A and B are shown apart, each in its own frame.
Chain A
Amino acid sequence: MGKTVLIIDDEADIREVATASLQLVGGFIVLTAASGQHGIAVARQEKPDAIVLDLMMPEMDGCEVLLQLKNDPEIRDIPVVLLTAKVQGMKKEMAQAAGAAGVLMKPFDPMLLPAQLSEILGWADVDREHA
Chain B
Amino acid sequence: MQEHPDQARVHAALQRVWRQVEPEIQRRLTTLEEAGKALQAGPMDEGCRHEAIDAAHKLAGSLGMFGFAAASAWASEIESLLEIPGAISGEQFNGFMERLRVEVNRDRNEQAGGSDEGSDE
Contact = CB atoms under 8 A, between A and B. Distances in A.
Interface stretch (A40-48, A63-71, A104-112, A115-123): A104-112
Interface residues of B, number: 25
A107 B17 contact: no
A11 B61 contact: yes
A17 B9 contact: no
Interface in B1-53: 4, 6-7, 9-10, 13-14, 17, 20-21, 24
Classify the interface of chain A: helix, strand, loop or mixed: loop
A20 B61 contact: no
Interface stretch (B62-70, B87-95, B98-106): B62-70
A16 B62 CA distance: 11
Nearest to A19: B13
Classify the interface of chain B: helix, strand, loop or mixed: helix
Contacts of A16: 13, 17, 20
Given A13-B21, A24-B13, A107-B72, A86 B60 contact: yes
Q: Which 7 A-B pairs have the closest CB atoms?
A: A107-B64, A20-B13, A85-B61, A106-B61, A13-B21, A16-B17, A107-B65
21 contacts: A11-B61, A12-B20, A14-B65, A17-B17, A17-B62, A17-B65, A20-B9, A20-B13, A24-B9, A25-B6, A85-B58, A85-B60, A86-B76, A106-B61, A106-B62, A107-B61, A107-B62, A108-B65, A109-B65, A110-B65, A130-B7
Interface of A: 11-14, 16-17, 20-21, 24-25, 56, 85-86, 106-111, 130
